[in-house]
C-alpha cells in the first residue's frame, strides 16, 4: 500500500509542477494553467485523503493490537496459542504505537496545510480571474502552497516507508498474513 501511495503523491507533485510551469510560461501547452489546475487540485485532494487515512489506519491498527495485549482479552485474535509472558510483545508493540503516532503527527498537519493553502490558492485564482484580487495575492498563496507541498511530500514519502516497515514488523511479530489490516 505504501508503494501505491508513493506513486499517488509522485503523480500529484508532477501534476502541480506542470501546472506551475505552464502558469510561469516556461512551456506552452494547448491547455492554460487554469485548465490544468482544476484536475490537478482535485487529484491532490484525492491523493492527500488517501495518505491521511493510511496513517490514521496504521495508527489505529497498532493501538488496537496494543489494547488487546494490555487488556489480555481476545488474545486469540493475535495468537493461536497465547503465551504466558506477554511482556516482550507489549514492549515491542508499545514501540510500534509510538512510531505510528509519530508518523501520523508528522504527516497529517502537512496534509491539512497542503489542502488548506491549495484551496485558498485555487479560490484566489478564480478571484484573480474575475478581477477581485491582484495577481500577487494569488501567486503568494500558491508559492506558500508549493512550499507546504514539497515539505509535505518529503515527510509523507519518508513516513510511508517507515509505516510500511512497521506494519511488516507487527504482522511478523504476531504471525498475521500480509493482506490483513
Average pLDDT over the chain reads: 92
Nine-digit cell at 17? 509542477
Domain range summary for the chain, segments of one domain joined by +: 2-174
- CA torsion angle for 112, 38, 46, 27 (degrees, to 10)? -90
- CA torsion angle for 15, 16, 17, 19 (degrees, to 10)? 90
89-127 residue pLDDT tens: 889 999 999 999 999 999 999 999 999 999 999 999 999
DSSP string, 56-104: HHHHHHHHHHHHHHHHT-SGGGT-SS--S--HHHHHHHHHHHHHHHHHH
Taking residues 75-97, report their average pLDDT: 84
| Distance, CA of 117 to CA of 139 (rounded, Å) | 12
| Distance, CA of 150 to CA of 104 (rounded, Å) | 18
Nearest Cα neighbor of 38 from 113, 123, 117 is 123
> Which one is predicted more confidently, 62 or 80?
62
pLDDT(80) > 80: no
Q: Which residues contact 36 (CB under 8 A, 6 or more apart)?
A: 15, 18, 19, 22, 29
6-19 residue pLDDT tens: 999 999 999 999 99
Q: What's the pLDDT band for 180 if we cut at 50, 70, 90?
A: low
Amino acid at each position: 500500500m505504501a508503494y501505491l501511495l508513493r506513486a499517488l503523491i509522485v503523480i500529484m507533485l508532477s501534476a502541480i509542477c506542470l501546472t506551475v510551469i505552464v502558469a510561469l510560461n516556461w512551456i506552452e501547452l494547448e491547455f492554460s494553467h487554469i485548465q490544468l489546475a482544476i484536475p490537478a487540485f482535485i487529484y491532490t485532494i484525492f491523493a492527500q485523503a488517501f495518505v491521511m487515512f493510511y496513517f490514521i489506519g496504521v495508527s489505529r491498527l497498532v493501538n488496537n493490537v496494543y489494547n488487546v495485549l494490555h487488556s489480555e482479552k481476545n488474545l486469540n485474535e493475535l495468537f493461536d496459542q497465547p503465551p504466558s509472558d506477554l511482556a516482550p510483545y507489549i514492549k515491542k508493540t508499545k514501540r510500534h504505537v509510538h512510531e505510528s503516532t509519530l508518523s501520523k503527527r508528522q504527516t497529517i498537519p502537512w496534509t491539512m496545510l497542503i489542502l488548506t493553502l491549495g484551496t485558498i490558492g485555487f479560490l484566489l485564482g478564480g478571484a484573480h480571474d474575475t478581477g477581485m484580487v491582484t495577481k500577487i495575492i494569488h501567486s503568494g498563496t500558491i508559492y506558500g502552497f508549493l512550499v507546504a507541498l514539497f515539505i509535505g511530500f518529503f515527510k509523507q514519502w519518508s513516513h510511508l516507508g517507515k509505516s510500511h516497515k512497521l506494519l511488516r514488523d507487527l504482522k511478523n511479530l504476531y504471525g498475521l498474513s500480509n493482506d490483513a489490516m
